[in-house]
Amino acid sequence: MRALGRLLAVAALAAMVGSGAAAAVDQGANHGRDPRFDEATALKMSQAAIGRTLDASYRFTASDGKSITFGDLRGKPLVINLVYTSCYHVCPTITQTVARAARVAWGALGADSFRVVTIGFDTPVDTPERMRNFARERGLDMAQWYFLSTDAATMQALITDLGFTYFASPKGFDHLAQTTIVDAGGKIYRPVYGDSFAVPSLVEPLKDLVFGRKASTKNWDGWINGVKLFCTVYDPTTGRYKFSYSIFVAIFTGVLSLGALAWFIVRTWRESGGGPRRPA
């Protein structure tokens, strides 16, 4: 699983750099990009953000008008999706890709195992009402998904922490197609790149965080989570994760083989006279 996670991350990065998928432009227009938007630099900034802890005091307004902070969202892994609501192509595509992967992840890991936030980075425009409409138009009404607005200062600090790059352009914004996965303590765990990434690109890192690569084996819960981590596998034919019993079959077969070998050795030893001798 660790090798799979690394492979997926490398593949995503290679695809981003090789295909130019890093930049997302309103309506997918093919106009010239802002010269400040350099994909190699944007990728470097994004990768440098891994391991940073997001400020728990960052405050937002949810689409229902309620105030919420990142501190309120700690305790579970968090998926952060940055958009601007006047985008009609790339941002909706990224959000729907996140939605598809999140549904699979909630099905595999548990309905309350992690949260998702979509935050509008065009702060003068992306009001709570606009964020609410953005969610409604795309049929995104999930208990663990929040659509948030904030002020310009908070947004600037947040994008710096996330290593997210964007610049205004003639028809919207040039920006990094980045979805960020944060652990339960608010630390950036992994960015996922592209406007249409594969489901495991999001689910595998969430699996790491929900079940825990370093889950303790000294207690029953830790052992169970370890089993789930290695036995929950992605089935590309169905687009879903399923619990695989192959590891138990392998263990059972191994035990039987060792038992048969031990029995053969003991029997051979006894038949050769190596067993206990009875007195004459």
d(CA 189, CA 4) in angstroms, rounded, equals 16
pTM as predicted: 0.70
CB of 54 closer than 8 Å to CB of 189: no
Say if residue 87 is in the same domain as residue 12. yes
Nearest to 100 by CA among 25, 182, 10, 194: 194
pLDDT in tens, 43-77: 899 999 999 999 999 999 999 999 999 999 999 99
40: pLDDT confidence band, cut at 50, 70 and 90? Answer: confident
pLDDT in tens, 205-261: 999 999 885 444 444 344 344 444 444 444 455 555 455 545 444 554 566 667 666
Look at the chain and report how many structural domains it folds into.
2
Say if residue 71 is in the same domain as residue 129. yes
Which CATH number do you get for residue 70? 3.40.30.10
Say if residue 255 is in the same domain as residue 233. no
Reply yes or no on whether the pLDDT at 36 is more than 60.
Answer: yes
pLDDT in tens, 152-171: 999 999 999 999 999 888 88
| pLDDT, position 19 | 37
| pLDDT, position 216 | 41
Say if residue 95 is in the same domain as residue 218. yes
Give the domain range for residue 259.
245-280
Say if residue 266 is in the same domain as residue 158. no
Say if residue 276 is in the same domain as residue 232. no
Say if residue 210 is in the same domain as residue 146. yes
Nearest to 184 by CA among 47, 30, 2, 53: 53
Say if residue 201 is in the same domain as residue 85. yes
Say if residue 135 is in the same domain as residue 268. no
